[in-house]
Amino acid sequence: MQIQFASSRPSGDYALVLPAKGCDDKRLDSLTGDAAAARKALERQRFEGKKGTAAETYLAGEDGRRLLVVGIGKGKAEDAEAAGARVSARLMTSGETQAVIDLSDAGFDAEGAARLALGAAMRSWRYDKHRTKIKDKQKVSLQTVTIVGAADGAQDLWEDRYKAVYEGTSLTRELVAEPPNIIYPATFVERVKEWNKGNGLEIEVLGQAEMEKLGMGALLGVAQGSVKEPKLLVMKWNGGKKGDKPTVFIGKGVTFDTGGISLKPGPGMDMMKWDMGGAGAVAGAMHTMAQRKAKANVVGVCGLVENMPDGNAIRPGDVLTTMSGQTVEVLNTDAEGRLVLCDCITWSQKNLNPARMIDLATLTGAMVITFGHEYAGMFSNNDDLADDLLDAGKTSGDLLWRQPLAEAYDRLLDTPIADMKNIGPREAGSITAAQYLQRFVENDTPWAHLDIAGMAWSDKDKTTYGKGATGYGVRLLDAFIAEEVEG
Ligand code: BES
Ligand code: MN
Ligand code: ZN
């Protein structure tokens, strides 16, 4: 779907969209001959102008043109975004090919209008590639959304910032939605390369042999039960001052998590195709950085592996030597994400001199028990970084809630067999996973771990996404860079 800005309504056939604060909104007067009937129709639908709501009618004076009225709530940027999203949700398969959203006198500033465009774009995303038998009536009809009467600067804000955010989110959603026989470590890398041709993002890839030389025994341990070669994907965006230490994003990219020898139960195991949601978010955020030419140095590091049961797979009881030199007793091969991430953290510190590290991972089922699908959990060794991320969560809508780290939790990882074990007791499962990762952070480098287990995928339609891959994390990381590193 294409989004464009125009100074006046075009001629021809389109659905007219008016954001309104209720049935008595003066903006409906612009419908002249149709205004009274439209108001009556909206009243019948109990339209009150609330955030994310919509009502529909037809304009007799304009050959039965469809009129969609969307609520503007309190008129804030997030309300505008919800209104834009509502337009796409309502019209995507409606049969309309063009929608014209008239914002004249609606009261949105440039940020609001650009966020309305973002909402419309985000909610229009679909991935039908593997469906060959969609009925014509179910196919997407909406091709263009034209925004008329937006405040000055809105178009630039869309083109220079939010369009890139939408594109990054789309890459993430695509990677997450693709089935695990299509996206595995090598094809994840290929897909990221295809999306970033010629945009200046520098891509480096380490294969199995290189990682063996570096002693990445934990990541490689997880990968050894799979016939798919593991990859370490490194994406560099040098948009900041030369010599400025980079912000490093690290993503868990388990392209399928069977649990390994500690095999997961059968029902619902297919969901573990999105166990690469952290890596997907990092790849999407890096795409956004490059597409919008962010004025910051940012590096994305993705640990890509598949976790399979096999004659060559790691066993419960195995001891692995991590890249840091620390040894780990693997007591559950299903706690594999932390094994992948710990070597990514060490690799980043040895190679990138990070100003700060932020890792994203669908790490624990316990996180879903804690927050359901509304917040990701955040763990950090640094209060400033934690506060900045909380702020970015609020402005972007990718919400976070901070969780504790403490010595007493760390002790739960001790074992007489090695330097640590890879699981704690059942209690506080998300916290002990974070404590495990913290053991690999050197010299108090500011670090935050985001457990996004409940956020990468949605079982139901929400404001800016349909059922399926959400793209969680891209907007958060983009907002963090914009507000804290560029700003
Ligand atoms: N990928 C899973 C975590 C997960 C579970 C994410 C459900 C989303 C939904 C992770 O690798 C895992 O299996 N974690 C285990 C850890 C346990 C063995 C300590 C878990 O959460 O059960
Ligand atoms: Mn697992
Ligand atoms: Zn996993």
In the reported structure, the alpha carbon of residue 275 is separated from the centroid of ligand 3 by a whole-number distance in angstroms of 5
Instruction: Flag whether pLDDT at 244 surpasses 90.
Output: yes
Tell the residue nearest (CA) to atom 16 of ligand 1.
Answer: 335
Neighbours of 63 (CB within 10 A): 8
* Residue 163 annotated to the active site: no
Burial zone of 399 (CB within 10 Å; 0-12 exposed, 13-18 middle, 19+ buried):
middle
Which residues, in sequence order, are CB contacts of 486 under 8 Å at separation 6+?
240, 294, 295, 296
Mean pLDDT calculated for residue range 252-262: 98
pLDDT (0 to 100) of residue 487: 87
In the reported structure, the alpha carbon of residue 170 is separated from the centroid of ligand 2 by a whole-number distance in angstroms of 25
Instruction: Say what percent of the chain tops pLDDT 70.
Output: 100
Find out whether the beta carbon of 365 lies less than 6 Å from any atom of ligand 1.
yes
Instruction: Flag whether pLDDT at 97 surpasses 90.
Output: yes
In the reported structure, the alpha carbon of residue 366 is separated from the centroid of ligand 1 by a whole-number distance in angstroms of 8
- Under a CB-based contact definition with an 8 Å cutoff, are residues 357 and 363 in contact? no
* Residue 475 annotated to the active site: no
In the reported structure, the alpha carbon of residue 445 is separated from the centroid of ligand 3 by a whole-number distance in angstroms of 25
Instruction: Flag whether pLDDT at 62 surpasses 90.
Output: yes
What ligand is nearest to the CA atom of residue 431? 1
Mean pLDDT calculated for residue range 63-75: 97
Q: Residue 236 half-sphere exposure, CB side, CA atoms within 13 Å?
A: 13
Find out whether the beta carbon of 364 lies less than 6 Å from any atom of ligand 1.
yes
Mean pLDDT calculated for residue range 279-307: 99
For 51, the token pair is: 């955030």
pLDDT tens track for 188-225:
999 999 999 999 999 999 999 999 999 999 999 999 99
pLDDT (0 to 100) of residue 24: 95
pLDDT tens track for 358-412:
999 999 999 999 999 999 999 999 999 999 999 999 999 999 999 999 999 999 9
Q: Residue 302 half-sphere exposure, CB side, CA atoms within 13 Å?
A: 34
Name the helix (H) or strand (E) containing 5: strand 2-6
Instruction: Flag whether pLDDT at 65 surpasses 90.
Output: yes
Q: Which is it for strands 327-329 and 420-421: parallel, antiparallel or unpaired?
A: parallel
pLDDT tens track for 432-484:
999 999 999 999 999 999 999 999 999 999 999 999 999 999 999 999 999 99
Span between the terminal Cα atoms of the chain, in Å = 31
Spatial separation of the C-alpha atoms in residues 113 and 252, rounded to whole Å: 35
Instruction: Flag whether pLDDT at 321 surpasses 90.
Output: yes
Find out whether the beta carbon of 78 lies less than 6 Å from any atom of ligand 1.
no
What residue segments make up the domains of the chain, in order of their start? Answer: 2-152, 162-485
Find out whether the beta carbon of 366 lies less than 6 Å from any atom of ligand 1.
yes
291 confidence band (pLDDT: 50, 70, 90): very high
pLDDT (0 to 100) of residue 365: 98
pLDDT (0 to 100) of residue 14: 98
231 confidence band (pLDDT: 50, 70, 90): very high
In the reported structure, the alpha carbon of residue 273 is separated from the centroid of ligand 1 by a whole-number distance in angstroms of 12
Q: Find the catalytic residue in 264, 295, 402, 462.
A: 264
Tell the residue nearest (CA) to atom 9 of ligand 1.
Answer: 365
pLDDT (0 to 100) of residue 66: 98
Radius of gyration, alpha carbons of the chain: 24
Task: Work out which ligand 1 atom sits closest to the CA atom of 432.
Answer: 19
Find out whether the beta carbon of 257 lies less than 6 Å from any atom of ligand 1.
yes
pLDDT (0 to 100) of residue 322: 99
In the reported structure, the alpha carbon of residue 362 is separated from the centroid of ligand 1 by a whole-number distance in angstroms of 8
Spatial separation of the C-alpha atoms in residues 468 and 456, rounded to whole Å: 8
What ligand is nearest to the CA atom of residue 433? 1
2-152 CATH, one of 3.30.365.10, 3.60.20.10, 3.40.220.10, 3.40.50.720: 3.40.220.10
Helix, strand, coil share of the chain (percent; to 5): 40, 20, 40
User: Nearest 5°: CA angle at 297, between 294 and 303?
Assistant: 105
pLDDT (0 to 100) of residue 289: 99
pLDDT (0 to 100) of residue 287: 99
Which residues, in sequence order, are CB contacts of 473 under 8 Å at separation 6+?
172, 277, 278, 281, 282, 284, 285, 360, 376, 398, 450, 452, 455
Mean pLDDT calculated for residue range 101-116: 97
Find out whether the beta carbon of 336 lies less than 6 Å from any atom of ligand 1.
yes
Tell the residue nearest (CA) to atom 13 of ligand 1.
Answer: 334
Residues with CB under 5 A from ligand 3 (ion): 254, 257, 275, 337
What ligand is nearest to the CA atom of residue 453? 1
Strand blocks (E) in 393-443: 400-402, 420-421
162-485 CATH, one of 3.40.50.10810, 3.40.50.300, 3.40.50.800, 3.40.630.10: 3.40.630.10
Instruction: Flag whether pLDDT at 248 surpasses 90.
Output: yes
> For all residues of the chain together, what is the average pLDDT?
98
